Chains A and B, each alone.
Chain A
Amino acid sequence: MTSDPMPTPQELRAMAYADGELSDEETREFEREMLDDPALAREVAQLRRLEVLSRQVAGPEPMDAEWKVLAEDPWQSGGTSVAYGALLVGTVGLGICMVVGILVAETTPLVKLLLLLVIGGFTLLLVLTIRARLRTLPFDPYTKVQR
């Protein structure tokens, strides 16, 4: 029988930080280290995720089994993916048609430029927002909470 390896001093400090057991000075020092070491920050995020999930003491409800069966049903999951895919393609397509419509429309170049700037600005904001969310998602310990 093998047992889990003993936690390293760094892991113990990460656990203490996640539990709020470090002194103020040690906390500040550890937070400075996390800024320079993304792996350390991810480890603390993982520990916080476990701590949040451990508070979910209620057992599964009978309906949870039905939700699980539904989620694994190929028609439900496949159909949902197709529906969201169609929505995404349709939205992007409409956006492209809008841009083309603006370019070929009989209006002043200034109006065309301004409209394209607005669309381009919103698109860039959307891309940057998605990028920011994807980067911070691993550090959000609450995404696994169900109820």
Chain B
Amino acid sequence: MILVTANDVPGRQVVEVCGLVRGNTVRGRHIGRDIGAALKNLVGGEIDDYTKLLAESREQSIDRMIDEARALGANAIVSVRFSTSHIATGAAEFLAYGTAVKLA
């Protein structure tokens, strides 16, 4: 599955637009990591617990978006975008969306 943030794939022609596809997830780290992250917030620097949290969310959202595109028979997703929302303390929604297409 080809994923691009551009509106098209250079050198390949879109023969069919399959539709909007998206994948999202809301993940959290366990309370021990949340306590550690709150303390790291006091001293500054990268809060690697939350970096990992968003990385896990990103990969799961991408996989769900790809699954949806496969179900529509697409072989590529263009105009891929990401969005995040704060849901609760220590939990964020990660949304990946794009346009599923069939490339020649």
Q: Which residues of A pack against B, CB within 8 Å?
A: 20, 48, 52, 55, 67, 80, 84, 87, 142-143, 145-147
Q: Which residues of the other chain, B, contact A87 by a CB distance below 8 angstroms?
A: 35
The reply on B44 being an interface residue by CB < 8 A is no
Instruction: Output the least CB separation between B28 and chain A (Å).
Output: 11
The reply on B83 being an interface residue by CB < 8 A is no
State whether A146 and B32 are in contact (beta carbons under 8 Å apart), knowing that A20-B67, A55-B59 are contacts in the complex: no
Q: Are A146 and B55 in contact (CB under 8 A)?
A: yes
Q: Which residues of the other chain, A, contact B63 by a CB distance below 8 angstroms?
A: 48, 52
Q: Are B70 and A20 in contact (CB under 8 A)?
A: yes
Q: Which residues of B pack against A, CB within 8 Å?
A: 1, 27, 32, 35-36, 48, 51-52, 55-60, 63, 66-67, 70
A-B contact pairs, 6 of them (CB 8 A): A20-B70, A52-B63, A67-B48, A142-B56, A143-B56, A145-B56
Q: Are B55 and A145 in contact (CB under 8 A)?
A: yes
Instruction: Output the least CB separation between A66 and chain B (Å).
Output: 11
Instruction: Output the least CB separation between A143 and chain B (Å).
Output: 7
Q: Are B59 and A146 in contact (CB under 8 A)?
A: no
Nearest B-chain residue to A80, judged by Cβ? B36
Partner pick for A142 among B48, B60, B70, CB 8 A cutoff = B60
Q: Which residues of the other chain, B, contact A145 by a CB distance below 8 angstroms?
A: 52, 55-56, 58-59
Partner pick for A84 among B32, B67, B70, CB 8 A cutoff = B32
Instruction: Output the least CB separation between A81 and chain B (Å).
Output: 11
Nearest B-chain residue to A48, judged by Cβ? B63
Query: Which A-B residue pairs are the 8 nearest by beta carbons?
Result: A142-B56, A145-B55, A20-B70, A147-B55, A145-B56, A142-B60, A52-B59, A145-B59
Instruction: Output the least CB separation between A21 and chain B (Å).
Output: 9
Q: Which residues of the other chain, A, contact B57 by a CB distance below 8 angstroms?
A: 142
Q: Are A20 and B66 in contact (CB under 8 A)?
A: yes
Q: Are A147 and B35 in contact (CB under 8 A)?
A: no
Q: Are A146 and B66 in contact (CB under 8 A)?
A: no
Q: Which residues of the other chain, A, contact B60 by a CB distance below 8 angstroms?
A: 142
Q: Which residues of the other chain, A, contact B35 by a CB distance below 8 angstroms?
A: 87
The docked-state distance in angstroms from the alpha carbon of A84 to that of B1 is: 43
Q: Are B52 and A147 in contact (CB under 8 A)?
A: yes
